[in-house]
Structure 1
């Protein structure tokens, strides 16, 4: 008979709330830095740009993006439509199968992605400022253990 899973500690609810608050704070700080650059992307659009950039060489298909984002293909179409309207991505036919559409970053999209990354780094720096170098390193290791460790769900 499997042993019962341990009951959550009394502090786990508080820890969950702190994680949510930290995530929100990070998002607000990033949006603040982006506003100064006059760049406005939703978190989902930002993530899609990062994913498209991840595909070096052959641009991803819409189905690839839906899988990576863990959303239905229609949601990807909406995101791509908005990013295409902003000039950040473009649809290109697959040279091997013209019925397949691939999504690639434009020069505008690459500049925007650089600004998004810069805003994220600035936001993180702002939030982590009270921590010492040693605390930052330990915090990074703890986050890596949570993000990359056992029990990770895709």
Structure 2
């Protein structure tokens, strides 16, 4: 696995990875919720964030992350790529570029919380709603030391 900066031709593949990943891991979201977030991801996140793509040996995208400064705004892996070290590689890549990181994690996604804790993040705050005002509580996590 390697990491490269995203190019505009990656956006459709990254959106597909996001959609498959969310359906596999965000079981608290309804299909209506997913359809609400889809244009936000497609038209904002994949356009505005600093995107890095995790690729397999054949250069096929298998995951990605989006950064805004040292805030990790997105990290998604194709469902078949979970638990193979790609997420940790992306976090380490971000640390090398940005230093200690922050991330907001859906409270209803305990696997993500455990993953970030294993990368050295701790919970430093909580909000009742996500950034869209939807009732999906977020845990604000921050690295105190590199994980």
TM-score > 0.5 by shorter chain: no
Q: Which has the higher strand share?
A: 2
Structure (1 or 2) with the larger CA radius of gyration? 1
Which has the larger helix fraction? 1
Q: Which has the higher contact order (CA 8 A, sep 6+)?
A: 1
Q: TM-score, normalised by structure 1?
A: 0.28
